[in-house]
Structure 1
Amino acid sequence: MNYITNDDLEKFRVSLIEDIKKILQTYHSENTENNENTEWLRSKMIRKILNISPGTLQNLRTSGKIRYQKVLGSYYYSKSDLLKLFDGK
């Protein structure tokens, strides 16, 4: 029979924290490289700026013309994608 000591648990905790830090650093560095200068705007702001309906904004989103992130039920859109959309690039 093997016993788990407090020392074993402490070593496991430290190891787990280090692994989580590595994963988060990798995720952060990948996203920072891809989205270094990306500003994100909420749906309401986009609709107000462009004077469009929620349905039109949804069409832009689902057709893949603009990038978005959904965070806690709110959609955020890439400002650079909106500028490209109207620049014709």
Structure 2
Amino acid sequence: MAAEIITKEDLDAFEQRLLQHIRLLIGGSPAEPKKWLKSYQVRNMLRISPGTLQTLRVNGTLSYTKIGGILYYKQEDILKLLEGEQKRKS
């Protein structure tokens, strides 16, 4: 079996493809992604507890809008948070 060398550029390209795939899964179709997400959707997406989501709100990591007692989060903010996590791990 031949060894295959993976470069940093290969990993960067993989990361971009993976993030694009995640965006498609989150938004459904690329033509009309959801702009606002409810708390349960954000928790499922990030795989976090309600308490962790509250901590992200309180410390300002994740902005939100409250309408009629329901909290909404911008999808682009969630994606930025995910991208930031990916950069910290690499």
TM-score normalised by structure 2 residue count: 0.52
> Which residue of 26, 47, 58 corresponds with 1:62?
58
Gaps of 5+ in 1: 1-36
User: Matches of 1:56 and 1:43 in 2, distance apart?
Assistant: 11
Task: State which structure, 1 or 2, has the greater radius of gyration over its C-alpha atoms.
Answer: 1
Instruction: In structure 2, give the amino acid aligned to 1:50.
Output: L
Q: CA deviation at 1:38?
A: 8.1
Structure 1 or 2: more helix by fraction: 1
Superposition CA RMSD, Å: 2.1
Structure 1 ranges of 4+ moved more than 6 A: none
> Which residue of 80, 83, 86 corresponds with 1:87?
83
Give the % identical residues.
49
Gaps of 5+ in 2: 1-32
User: Matches of 1:59 and 1:87 in 2, distance apart?
Assistant: 19
Count of matched residue positions in the alignment of Structure 1 and Structure 2: 53
Q: CA deviation at 1:50?
A: 1.6
